[in-house]
Amino acid sequence: MRLMPRRVKFRKSHRGRIKGKATRGNTLAMGEYGLQSLESGWVSAEELEAGRVASSHFLGKSGRLFIRVFPHKSVTAKPIETRMGKGKGEPAYWAAVIKPGTILYELTGVPEDMAKQTFNRIAHKLSVKVRMVSRSA
């Protein structure tokens, strides 16, 4: 199921600016291996879900995947062929704001080569460049 906040204070948010690198959520917390972002950007709930599905198809019942980010930000869009003005568009999707260094996913209970293959599959679903990190490295 796509991730989305249950309750929000406001439906629409400002775009904001992504400055600097991640100073929180940039270390492994639960798993043996992690997928770390190398870029900043918005990762949509759809992308996160696609990554989760890709990993569960590959891993089956083995291992456990943790999603370390949550799409808190609503992103609005205007309908196509609409003239400018007339206010802000309607919320189109939810996204997680990602800074370089953020750990997006963590994995445990699988050998390293399997983790590598899983993260490779997930990376194809994401709109930011990522790299695999492990506790031993």
- What gap in Å lies between CA 21 and CA 85, rounded to an integer? 34
For another protein, give the closer residue by CB, 81 or 89: 89
Contact assessment for residue 103 and residue 27, using Cβ atoms and an 8 Å cutoff: yes
Q: According to CB under 8 A, which one of 32, 47, 115, 130 is a site residue for another protein? A: 32
DSSP bridge pairs for 37: 130
Token pair, residue 18, equals 């992504």
Site string for another protein, 103-132 (x = CB under 8 A): -----xx-----------------------
- What gap in Å lies between CA 6 and CA 16, rounded to an integer? 22
- Determine if 97 is a binding residue for another protein (CB under 8 A): no
Amino acid identity of 129? K
Question: Which helix (H) or strand (E) is 134 found in, with range?
Answer: strand 130-134
For another protein, give the closer residue by CB, 81 or 136: 136
Question: Which helix (H) or strand (E) is 67 found in, with range?
Answer: strand 64-67
Taking CB under 8 A as the binding criterion, the range among 30-38, 79-87, 114-122 that sits at the site for another protein is 30-38
- Determine if 19 is a binding residue for another protein (CB under 8 A): no
- Determine if 1 is a binding residue for another protein (CB under 8 A): yes
CB of 75 to another protein, least distance (A): 13
Q: According to CB under 8 A, which one of 95, 115, 126, 133 is a site residue for another protein? A: 133
Taking CB under 8 A as the binding criterion, the range among 26-34, 77-85, 111-119, 120-128 that sits at the site for another protein is 26-34
Under DSSP, is residue 17 helix (H, G, I), strand (E, B) or coil?
A: coil
